[in-house]
Structure 1
Amino acid sequence: MLPIKLPGLPMFLCFTDLDGTFLNHDDYRYDAAVPTVQALKKLDIPIIPTTSKTKAEVINLRRELGLQDPFIVENGSGIFLEPGDQRFDFSGLDLNIAVNQGFTMITLGITYDQARQNLQDLATQLGEPLRGFGDLGLPELRALTQLPISKLKQAGDRQFSEPFLRPQADLKILETLAAEAGLQILVGNRFCHLLGAGAGKGRAVNLVRQAWQKAHPDQGPVKTIGLGDSPNDLSLLDAVDVAIVVPGPQGVNPKLLPHSLKKGWFIAPEPGAAGWAGAIEAQLQKFVGP
């Protein structure tokens, strides 16, 4: 069934980061957001995870929440959707589209093997070892992330990008070297991420929006809402109509605060899942009413 459009309600797509946004920063729980997720589902509003997480991690979360909507992984390196989902039409957009383990996969970035090799090459140029996710043992990763072993294995099932520990050298030097190699580096709360220049949360959001509009030519412009908490969400927040910054336990990320003030982005009322829910509910009240 195609999403409904209530009288006076601009239909919107909800793009959301996960870690520190939909999921609490410390315990990764999302209980406080479940009622709001159910409200969005009743309105047939797509909830589109837009995250640094892997496909394996997101599939597990989608299953828990009962979601059937597209999802964007590894910082906009790949878009996945259920085969036959006619709500989104990616044809004619000159994209690398394939079938991957039961999903339609759109690749915007590089392969994981390429990311690993490029990280080694950058380390050589930088003159400093760069320790990627693939170099870290499970005990060390568990200490860094507080994730159980089962979820760490899902996080290690990478296809497009490599998270790595922040180097001691000036990060701007590394970013310049990466750009010269046709790559980019995004800084998250726990890791830096090496990915292809064609990847990006903002680009992925725009493509999903275009695919929706292409499948709904008579609907008119679709509204988009995006939620994020860290610098690697900047392109996501820039790409949407309504940008919402979810604060961390110590407040809004200092690197997001100037952007939010300058651009008038909304600030969620509290951190994590509860803040996510509160911010979405505020937007629903504007569109639907109490």
Structure 2
Amino acid sequence: MTSKTSLLIFTDLDGTLLGSEDYAYAAAVPMLERLGTEGIPVIPVTSKTRREVETLRQRVGLRDPFVVENGSAVFIPHDQNQFQLPEGEDADGYRILQLGCTYVVARAALKAIAQQLGRPLKGFGDWTVEQIEQMTKLAHADAQQAKAREFTEPFMTPKNVEPETLVAVVEDFGFRVVVGDRFSHLIGGEAGKGAAVRQLTALYQTGLPAGSTVKTVGLGNSPNDLDMLEAVDIAIVLPGPSGPHPKLADRGWQVAPEPAPEGWTLAVEQVLAQAGC
């Protein structure tokens, strides 16, 4: 890689960096260590909460900024030294850039949307940790972390409402929704994985010498990652056991040769080779 180009790697977690069923990541650790040694940031961009991401960062040794709850907030460690910290709130050793709404606002909006639809909408705030554990098959500690929402509300996708209708009603209220097969996520209108990626890319660019540029890489596995993949220079799709998700397969993007986590490592290895790293 020439001195005038700096790589940034943005990655989803479940099914991308982590195995889709077992959440395994051991196969990616040597590559993560190499990237850390070479000073190439690896930035999680996920629907997970801050507490969930913090636990993973400690396990795998990540030190870079991260994006939580579908692009609702960017957490920048105070001790990073690749760019000057932007304006924002400070808490727990982070500069926090909030792009979305607060959790209280999301909860109130979900009730209003349910009333407008004439259908009950139940979210994480309506369930105990034990109920979330049972529905998601998460371990108890993981369910606790998943329930620690700060910005968004996951809710049970209504079976008797067309996705287009749900999206239209949510947008009428000034919010966005990521519709999933089982759970959907209500997020603030200004939030989004793509918006978060663009903000961080601009910040890293400010820390480079004049004439240098940032080249961004994004890795994801589901339609929830479209916003991020469309915002990067190099988009890479992680396949599942039966191949890439249909909504990501025909966009001309690179498809990793294997599912996560092995496929993540192989895809990043190819990027580094092409960049001359």
Q: Same fold (TM over 0.5)?
A: yes
SS in 1 for 2:90: strand
1:267 counterpart residue number: 255
SS in 1 for 2:22: coil
1:164 counterpart residue number: 155
Residue 8 of structure 1, CA deviation: 6.5
The amino acid across from 2:82 in the alignment is: R
1:3 counterpart residue number: none
2:109 is aligned with 1:109: no
1:82 counterpart residue number: 77
Aligned residues: 276
- Judging changes above 3 Å, is the alpha-carbon distance between structure 1 residues 239 and 155 closer, same or farther for their aligned structure 2 residues? same
- Judging changes above 3 Å, is the alpha-carbon distance between structure 1 residues 9 and 282 closer, same or farther for their aligned structure 2 residues? farther
SS in 2 for 1:53: coil
Residue 9 of structure 1, CA deviation: 7.6
CA separation in 2, counterparts of 1:25 and 1:207?
A: 28
- Judging changes above 3 Å, is the alpha-carbon distance between structure 1 residues 167 and 288 closer, same or farther for their aligned structure 2 residues? same
Residue 217 of structure 1, CA deviation: 4.2
1:196 counterpart residue number: 188
Query: Deviations for 1:100-147, whole angstroms, at most 9, x for unmatched residues?
Result: 222110000000011111111111111111121222333442233322
State whether residues 20 and 248 of structure 1, in contact with CA within 8 Å, keep that contact through their aligned partners in structure 2: yes
State whether residues 138 and 149 of structure 1, in contact with CA within 8 Å, keep that contact through their aligned partners in structure 2: yes
- Judging changes above 3 Å, is the alpha-carbon distance between structure 1 residues 191 and 240 closer, same or farther for their aligned structure 2 residues? same
Deviates more, 1:128-137 or 1:25-34: 128-137
CA separation in 1, counterparts of 2:9 and 2:129?
A: 33
1:287 counterpart residue number: 275
State whether residues 4 and 213 of structure 2, in contact with CA within 8 Å, keep that contact through their aligned partners in structure 1: no
Q: CA RMSD in A?
A: 1.7
Identity, % of aligned positions: 44
1:143 counterpart residue number: 134
The amino acid across from 1:25 in the alignment is: S
Picking from 107, 116, 129, the partner of 2:120 is: 129
State whether residues 80 and 104 of structure 1, in contact with CA within 8 Å, keep that contact through their aligned partners in structure 2: yes
Residue 270 of structure 1, CA deviation: 1.4
CA separation in 2, counterparts of 1:210 and 1:182?
A: 26
CA separation in 2, counterparts of 1:226 and 1:189?
A: 23
Deviates more, 1:62-71 or 1:183-192: 183-192
CA separation in 2, counterparts of 1:189 and 1:19?
A: 16
CA separation in 2, counterparts of 1:144 and 1:266?
A: 34
State whether residues 14 and 226 of structure 1, in contact with CA within 8 Å, keep that contact through their aligned partners in structure 2: yes
Picking from 154, 160, 164, the partner of 2:145 is: 154
Residue 86 of structure 1, CA deviation: 3.4
2:34 counterpart residue number: 39
2:10 is aligned with 1:12: no
1:71 counterpart residue number: 66
Runs of 5+ consecutive residues of structure 1 not aligned to the other structure:
1-5
CA separation in 2, counterparts of 1:67 and 1:197?
A: 29
CA separation in 2, counterparts of 1:143 and 1:133?
A: 12
The amino acid across from 1:274 in the alignment is: E
Residue 211 of structure 1, CA deviation: 0.6
Residue 170 of structure 1, CA deviation: 0.5
TM-score relative to the length of structure 2:
0.94
CA separation in 1, counterparts of 2:190 and 2:96?
A: 15
The amino acid across from 1:227 in the alignment is: L
State whether residues 77 and 109 of structure 1, in contact with CA within 8 Å, keep that contact through their aligned partners in structure 2: yes
- Judging changes above 3 Å, is the alpha-carbon distance between structure 1 residues 189 and 27 closer, same or farther for their aligned structure 2 residues? farther
Matches within 5 A, 1:224-243: 224-243=216-235
SS in 1 for 2:261: helix
CA separation in 2, counterparts of 1:189 and 1:247?
A: 18
The amino acid across from 1:26 in the alignment is: E
Picking from 164, 167, 175, the partner of 1:183 is: 175
SS in 2 for 1:164: strand
2:111 counterpart residue number: 120
Residue 178 of structure 1, CA deviation: 0.9
Residue 67 of structure 1, CA deviation: 1.7
Residue 190 of structure 1, CA deviation: 4.9
